[in-house]
Structure 1
């Protein structure tokens, strides 16, 4: 599929630009070069650049949510922003592959060894398989939850500073009075001395209807989406969150 860069109408961009100007103005009043740097790095680069076209079925809120999640990961995992941490995915994959190996090994052992002789090992394999799959489910539900992105980067401000951002996403179903929506919740932690000294912490949340980012044909306005995500990231990075 040929790359396509879809333009955003001036009317769509003006609120975002207005928010950017207000954020920048507040930063200048505080006189913080660190805040200015955070805003500049969080917001997307100006100018046009090519993107692969993203097209979804607008009748499926799940499909639109997955498209937004993927676009957010691509945007935040750029080299100039954050290095994505895949701990949650790695844990789930490890538990999943372990359960597959246990099931395969148990089945192979039961096939090669006499039924009565193999029963203790087969029972142990079945129990271990159930434990691993249960742990995978519990981890995904209680620990990973709605987290779609965890990023980390190190900066130098007279000392080595570690910045870590965590982003959760949820989708809100449509109601008779409102369309389906996409909500983001971001938390940001800034620390030094290997995380022992906390320098700052902030949280922010924002929600937009899916129709803001997808047209009637299901084509995603990635530039508008990235502006929105950039504003949210800038807010938590300069401590203007909740």
Structure 2
């Protein structure tokens, strides 16, 4: 019977490590724009993943990456449906100017107020549109009062030269508009 000479395992392991190191050394250098923080971070992140998988013998769990991919595809779907909606419905019809809808009840009266705001292009006039619906129960019937009022003033009435808002003046004007739309009467100036 012929004897086969046994080779030590350590030399095989050393050869495979040297081959891996040689293949890593032959890789192209990583070149990024060093004034772009995002590129620098992405290059480092990619290299960390590569290093831990190839040299540290970790097996990468891709669940986090899969979740990011699914969320990315969902975001693309929302963008696509938003683009389709924008194509079918003109922008000015689609944009909503309502900023507040509120309800208030007192003594069997239900008050609903809707406030919309807008400004015109190249104008410093701020328009506040109040829409009021008041339901009042009288015996077995309900009396409904609808009213609409627009308050239009320059931003200069509420902001100083430094850009600081005069909240007291703004609140006074807002409550004056609310009183007008609720009662139909302009309050007396003091």
Provide TM-score, normalisation by structure 1: 0.39
Tell me which of the two structures has the higher relative contact order, counting C-alpha pairs closer than 8 angstroms and 6 or more residues apart. 1
Bigger share in strand: 2
Greater fraction helix? 1
Bigger Cα Rg: 2
